[in-house]
Structure 1
Amino acid sequence: MFGRDIGIDLGTANVLIYVKGSGIVLNEPSVVALDTTSNRVLAVGEEAFRMVGRTPGNIVATRPMKDGVIADFEMTEAMLSHFLGKINVKGMFAKPRILICCPTNITSVEQKAIREAAEKSGGKNVYLEEEPKVAAIGADMDIFQPSGHMVVDIGGGTTDVAVLSMGDVVTASSIKVAGDRFDTDILTYVKKEYKLLIGERTAEEIKKQIATVFPGARQEEMDIRGRDMVSGLPRTMTITTEKMEKALTEAISYIVHAAKQVLERTPPELSADIIERGVILTGGGALLHGIDQLLVDELKVPVVVAEEPMHCVAKGTGIILENLDKMSSKKIRI
């Protein structure tokens, strides 16, 4: 009957939707397949993701989100409308209230684009909240106390690092290096080192199955298939964990540097709290093998991967939605 409150983790790689009272009801890739001849949307989400790299010339499978912000407004709107229609949250008499998460350093124009896309997709009131703050809440951190908490949220397009206290961000940094960059670096390394062309999906499988970012933490190998750049024919070869660690060195160094910068700008009292409580890792990138060990080594503080790191932002939106009326009647300020 009535529209329900929903929280959306509008990620570069995945969209997760939380419905108040039901929990996480949708977790699908943020991919849209478009027929360029008729300009018609053919598939969205999981179905479109299966088409990536496997479509004829007139069909393009694209990601409408790039680096945590909207790259293609119409496609994002179509994607959100499809997902909201799929979970059937629109009531007969009221539209749902929507809470969407965004990176800490996006511009007011980018904020407006996200808000407008959600409103056109069927939202009544659209609220925006900073991603690391929501991720921390979803990871069961009590950020509303006068003590320091640090979260590193590694998504698909951006990595957000923040120190939180009293329910707000004290110091933060957002960089456009995350899961997608890891895939690209693996793909580029294999192309350069072995003269083998592989697709995005193969690069992602390598990242999940054998890659590590901490030297010596893992010793595995994997057979991969692609197109030989010299002969132009299909070829199979074996790659090792050691090689993939080299491929990811540069990207990981940016994340370590961002975390160090945030710690350098943190007030001393809050730094003392972080030494005691440690750093929480959230987002899909937190599942990258060895990243927690590497950050312990570099930051000299305890580092813990959150339980179900990919769901932290979506769960956080749920907790905020439960208390939305208590917070503020006006749109949440960024």
Structure 2
Amino acid sequence: MGGVIASRSLRIAGDKLNEDILRYMREEKKLLIGEATAEQLKCSLGSAFALDEELEGRVRGRDLISGLPKEMTVSSEELREAMERSVGAIVLAVKNTIEETPPELTADLFNRHIFLAGGGALLRGLDKHIAEETKLFVKIVDDPLAAVARGCGFVLENVGQLKSVLVSTQKDEFI
């Protein structure tokens, strides 16, 4: 076929997941933390899928009730709850893209898999969560952080030859 069959772009990235964690800590735990702390929690404890052994860590911030410094324990289960809406939007976008794929090509997904790239691919269990929801194989590309940049560089270097497969993307707004 030689082109993009279906695509979708979301405005959900690692920063959105960090915002989810910030909001959860503020609203549910009454603890004010900074963006760097949210990022660290996401990387060390965050998951999109239930873990065989849930993780726990300590987090420090300012107690919103007393205004004083406070340290507390937070679990991977709590962070998964915090990021649930954004992760759900990612999974929904994958499912919607599959639904837009012509039926004669849908069977190819069983052989070719879904590949995840970018920083979001590093969220523990995202591949398993998408696989469970779609019943398809999901793989994380080698070096997912650099994969997007390498792909963009390749397109820029070969834009003339790739005109037939380049599309303007449809943006799905996240509620």
Asked if these proteins are the same fold (TM beyond 0.5), I'd say yes
> Is contact 1:211–1:241 with CA below 8 Å preserved after alignment?
yes
Runs of 5+ consecutive residues of structure 2 not aligned to the other structure: 169-175
Are the structure 2 counterparts of residues 308 and 278 from structure 1 closer, same or farther at C-alpha, using a change threshold of 3 Å?
Answer: same
AA aligned opposite 1:215: A
Displacement of 1:301 in angstroms is 0.5
The residue number in structure 1 matching 2:119 is 284
The residue number in structure 2 matching 1:200 is 35
1:184-231, CA deviations, whole angstroms, 9 ceiling, x for partnerless residues?
Answer: 111111111211100111001000001111023442111111111111
**Larger RCO (alpha carbons 8 Å, 6+ apart):** 2
Partners of 2:53 and 2:115 lie apart in 1 by 22
Within the candidate set 308, 317, 331, 2:152 is matched to: 317
**Structure with the higher helix share, 1 or 2:** 2
Within 5 Å, give how 1:1-334 maps onto structure 2: 146=1, 166=2, 168-324=3-159, 327=161, 334=168
> Is contact 2:117–2:147 with CA below 8 Å preserved after alignment?
yes
SS in 2 for 1:169: coil
Count of matched residue pairs = 166
TM-score by length of 1: 0.47
Partners of 2:116 and 2:162 lie apart in 1 by 28
Displacement of 1:316 in angstroms is 1.6
> Is contact 2:155–2:162 with CA below 8 Å preserved after alignment?
no
Are the structure 2 counterparts of residues 218 and 295 from structure 1 closer, same or farther at C-alpha, using a change threshold of 3 Å?
Answer: farther
Runs of 5+ consecutive residues of structure 1 not aligned to the other structure: 1-145, 147-165
SS in 1 for 2:6: strand
AA aligned opposite 2:46: A
Are the structure 2 counterparts of residues 333 and 306 from structure 1 closer, same or farther at C-alpha, using a change threshold of 3 Å?
Answer: closer
> Is contact 1:226–1:235 with CA below 8 Å preserved after alignment?
yes
> Is contact 1:186–1:247 with CA below 8 Å preserved after alignment?
yes
> Is contact 2:13–2:119 with CA below 8 Å preserved after alignment?
no
* Structure index of larger Rg: 1
Are the structure 2 counterparts of residues 177 and 323 from structure 1 closer, same or farther at C-alpha, using a change threshold of 3 Å?
Answer: closer
Are the structure 2 counterparts of residues 274 and 217 from structure 1 closer, same or farther at C-alpha, using a change threshold of 3 Å?
Answer: same
> Is contact 1:173–1:262 with CA below 8 Å preserved after alignment?
yes
**Structure with the higher strand share, 1 or 2:** 1
> Is contact 1:218–1:241 with CA below 8 Å preserved after alignment?
no
Displacement of 1:232 in angstroms is 0.7
SS in 2 for 1:232: coil
Partners of 2:130 and 2:23 lie apart in 1 by 25
Displacement of 1:322 in angstroms is 4.8
> Runs of 4 or more off by more than 4 Å in structure 1?
none
Are the structure 2 counterparts of residues 218 and 200 from structure 1 closer, same or farther at C-alpha, using a change threshold of 3 Å?
Answer: farther
Measured on the aligned residues, the alpha-carbon RMSD in Å equals 2.0
> Is contact 1:223–1:239 with CA below 8 Å preserved after alignment?
yes
